[in-house]
Structure 1
């Protein structure tokens, strides 16, 4: 019989909190069992494995960020939408480093296709509608935005910008301005 109060949803949320505290790579069913002061075996009625837990955390993170992005993008266009989208990624990574790392990992094709990751791509395409890019330029632009957003966040998170007196915030705004300029220059 499952321990009262333990549900897959509660376990995944606790796993996500654990990821933010100790790092996504350190999240296991054993670590989660210690958090609830239960035997590991009692969690297997809710989770298949540590990989199942990690996948569910990734799906949670993708959904949380998609919801945030949707709210932040509402009513915006052009550079304003571009900044809102990028800032959503950056702010989420700062607030939830373990969850952010979780959503950057690979998912099998079926799981990925059913995840909120699809919404991320759709929202990036929505941002790009303000730039009126034809295909395949739009696909290239989606990849460019993802690369810049995730690359900047990853470098910032790793301390890659601490070696200079120029604040990373200035570089972030410069990057957004540069993306906006590049996208405008490629409009039809």
Structure 2
């Protein structure tokens, strides 16, 4: 009956993912369960198995989608920029993505053990490659790029987590603090 009902209402993987993204962005990634998703879609939970391999499969699909969406946002931010402006634009786009899509952003934080899921690993690596582009243009190579990407990601993620948790209680501008943090990171790249 589940598959018949799913077909009757036009349930597709895209529709399932769209609803899961909306739920994740509204209530957090932890709120995305098969039961909640089925309720929102007006189907029974077993109907979802025609489109995703359980909750793990749904979370994987969300992570793949999130990696692609973040990559696109960062690529768009880099377009037409050069040098330090590229790094600033990338940092702003990363923060904007996290605010516009908090659930998807949370899905980008999924840990993948090397060799465990080559497709998901490749999707996350593509995001890292985009972040590395302006760093390579600054003359970084090899492991220096890896270390710089890790530092940039750590700083941006930490700022975003604190900001979303209302961890910046002082009256100074949060946007100004963000810009100064990015400037400090860029200055650190010059050694």
Q: What is the TM-score normalised by the length of structure 1?
A: 0.91
Distance (Å, rounded) in 2 between the aligned partners of 1:107 and 1:138:
20
Distance (Å, rounded) in 1 between the aligned partners of 2:166 and 2:77:
27
Alpha-carbon deviations, 1:58-101, whole Å to 9, x = none? 11111111011111101212221111111111001111111111
SS of the equivalent of 1:114 reads helix
Contact 1:79 1:177 in 2 (8 A): no
Distance (Å, rounded) in 1 between the aligned partners of 2:137 and 2:72:
21
SS of the equivalent of 2:50 reads coil
The aligned counterpart of 1:147 is 154
Consecutive unaligned residues of structure 2, counting only runs of 5 or more, are none
2:165 pairs with 1:165: no
**Which structure shows the bigger proportion of residues in helix conformation?**
2
The aligned counterpart of 1:177 is 183
Residue 107 of structure 1 and its aligned partner are, at CA, apart by 3.1
Distance (Å, rounded) in 1 between the aligned partners of 2:149 and 2:107:
21
Contact 1:86 1:149 in 2 (8 A): yes
Distance (Å, rounded) in 2 between the aligned partners of 1:92 and 1:179:
20
The aligned counterpart of 2:121 is 113
Aligned residues: 183
Contact 2:25 2:103 in 1 (8 A): yes
Q: Which has the higher contact order (CA 8 A, sep 6+)?
A: 1
Contact 2:63 2:104 in 1 (8 A): yes
* TM alignment of 1:76-91, pairs within 5 A: 76-91=81-96
Residue 108 of structure 1 and its aligned partner are, at CA, apart by 4.5
Distance (Å, rounded) in 2 between the aligned partners of 1:174 and 1:88:
16
The aligned counterpart of 1:62 is 67
Consecutive unaligned residues of structure 1, counting only runs of 5 or more, are none
Contact 2:63 2:108 in 1 (8 A): yes
Q: What is the TM-score normalised by the length of structure 2?
A: 0.90
The aligned counterpart of 1:39 is 44
